[in-house]
Amino acid sequence: MKVEDLVKFFGLEVKAGDGQLHQEVTGGYVGDLLSDVIAHSLRGNVWVTIQTHPNIVAVASMKELAAIILAGGREPDPETLKKAEEEGIPVLISLLPAFELVGRLYQAGVAGIVSC
């Protein structure tokens, strides 16, 4: 499954990184503690979070994550979008709350999502 498949299947809004939607999704991770995401997420994961600040892009870039999905309709900070475009990290928005989104991602075949 690719990031673009998740965008279509879940009706996600693409806020940044639309040129990188072809990336393969290896699994998923959910959490809002950046140090935990750094320690446990894997390359190619999609990351579900409610954090909107620029540091999420730094973490996603360092861990080579496929995309960041902001749950609950949260809007990223302008600086976050700028940094995401520079780093080529897709930032997506879901209106679903994190709990429901993670359940649906799992049902769609995105495995390995851990809740903190």
What predicted TM-score, i.e. pTM, was given to this entire model? 0.94
* pLDDT at position 115: 46
Judge whether 61 and 89 are in contact, CB under 8 Å: yes
In this model, does residue 114 exceed pLDDT 90? Answer: no
Q: How far is CA 112 from the centre of its chain?
A: 14
Which residues touch 29 (CB under 8 Å, ≥6 apart)?
A: 37, 40, 41, 42, 45, 46, 47, 48, 65, 112, 113, 114
Q: Give the whole-number percent of the chain exceeding pLDDT 70.
A: 97
Residue 62: which of 82, 83, 92, 93 has the closest Cα? 83
* pLDDT at position 111: 85
Tens digit of pLDDT for each residue in 15-69? 999 999 999 999 999 999 999 999 999 999 999 999 999 999 999 999 999 999 9
**Residue ranges of domains in the chain, CATH in brackets:** 3-107 (3.40.1390.20)
